[in-house]
Amino acid sequence: QVQLVETGGGLVQAGGSLRLSCAASGSINSIYVMGWYRQAPGKQRELVARIISGGITNYADSVKGRFTISRDNAKNTVALQMNSLKPEDTAVYYCNALVVTVMRPQAQDYWGQGTQVTVSS
């Protein structure tokens, strides 16, 4: 009942920048948390960054100082600005949201389909 769609992935050279966006749609009452995860081949999915409705953010140590997460609560969107990209950042990036829908009061976890980010050296 909730859909997350990511955009902005692509191929970039090391040291370059990329901006990912995610839009949530559906029967949304409120979104408590929005975030970005990534998964590289042969590795488990890991948290990159997340932001709660009040604006508090968390970042993985590996991206601190390089990535910035932001959200527009009115539009139910979240963005990830990625600067100084490294080959180690290559992964499929997934949008995640903890959502309360109009149909039930319990918050549920939703995921986007992912967008590929490839950083060449």
pLDDT digits (tens, 9 = 90+) for 82-113: 999 999 999 999 999 999 999 888 999 999 99
Rounded distance between C-alpha atoms, residue 115 and residue 95, angstroms = 9
The residue written with tokens 């139910």 in the block is 76
**What string of pLDDT tens digits covers the 121 residues of the chain?**
899 999 999 999 999 999 999 999 999 999 999 999 999 999 999 999 999 988 999 999 999 999 999 999 899 999 999 999 999 999 999 999 999 999 888 999 999 999 999 999 9
- For residue 42, give both structure tokens: 């042969």
